[in-house]
Amino acid sequence: MGKQARDRSRDLRKAQTAIAEQRGKRRPLVVGGITVIVVLLVAIVVAVVNAVGDRDPATSSGALVAPKSATAAGALVLGQAAAPVRLEVYLDYMCPFCGRFEQANSGELDKLMADGTVRLELYPLSFLDRMSEGSRYSTRAANAVATVADRAPEKAAAFNEALFDNQPQEGTEGLSNARIAELAQQAGVPQDVVDVLDDHIFEPWIAKSTEAVFDTGISSTPTVKINGEVFKGDLYTVGALTQAVIAAKGQQ
């Protein structure tokens, strides 16, 4: 073996030892890393199991009960049943634009209901549950309104407005059940009704009517229909809807 070849093979051995040494130094890191991976996997499994366990029996398997004043299509009826103009409002309590719609029109709608012009049909939907960090605010709020419409129907309009006046920002957990109860109290809902607001009574009904509504082709909130026709005018300025309602009344 020539000197050059010997040198080369010595260099090679040296390099291999260096790599082996570095590998040895890295070993604790590798072992530590794999331990962390195992711990994380366990944590994820635990979190998933917890999430599945959190499933509220009242919401997933509760009996389907419809509020007394509800229509077959899934609406809560407010105002006089015999009023000439039927106004349907599709909303979600988490939907910011529904809040703007209410701000612009709730005063007018109150007047139109009071003088017997309008029969208001509210469709409280729950599709924005995905927007409340898992707290299902849309369902909770809709269930509370359905409960009030069922047990204290004359207070439902005021409670509906109160929820929009205090509307949480999209993407937050929404109002707590306690805060919802407080708003109901302030809107004049009797205490025995306030006490059952978080009993999930109408949650299965909300889920079913949300599905039914979307099956009819409604794809966004707020959607407003006057005597069955979608209102295409300005929903966010005071007066536009009122004029359309009065025009519809005149046609009859």
| Least separation in angstroms between CB 151 and another protein | 27
- Would you say 192 or 215 has its CB closer to another protein? 215
Taking the complex as a whole, how short is the minimal distance between the CB of residue 117 and another protein, in angstroms?
25
Q: Which amino acid is at 144?
A: A
Nearer to another protein (CB atom), residue 129 or residue 161: 129
> Residue 34 or 73: which CB sits closer to another protein?
34
**CB of 206 vs another protein, minimal distance in Å:** 15
Smallest distance from the beta carbon of 152 to another protein, in angstroms?
Answer: 28
For tokens 């927007």, what's the residue?
Answer: 131
According to the 3-state scheme, what is the secondary structure of 81-105?
CCCCEEEEEEECCCCHHHHHHHHHH
The residues of the shown chain that bind another protein, judged by CB under 8 A, are: 19, 22-23, 26-27, 29-30, 33-34, 36-37, 40-41, 43-44, 47-48, 50-52, 54-56, 92, 94-98, 127-134, 136, 170-172, 214, 219-223, 235-236
Question: Which is it for the CA torsion 88, 164, 212, 217, positive or negative?
Answer: positive
Alpha-carbon distances of 220 from 12, 89, 131, rounded to whole Å? 70, 11, 15
- Here the tokens at position 27 are 């070993």
Q: Provide, rounded to whole angstroms, the least separation between the CB of residue 33 and another protein.
A: 4
- Residue 172 or 186: the one with the smaller Cβ distance to another protein is 172
**Mind giving me the DSSP string for 58-88?**
HHHS------TTB-TTS-EEES-TT-SEEEE
Nearer to another protein, 8 or 130 (CB): 130
Cβ atoms of 190 and 140 closer than 8 Å: no
Among candidate residues 141, 160, 161, 156, the one with its CA nearest the CA of residue 190: 156
Q: Which is nearer to another protein, 51 or 73 (CB)?
A: 51
Nearest approach in angstroms of CB 208 to another protein is: 16
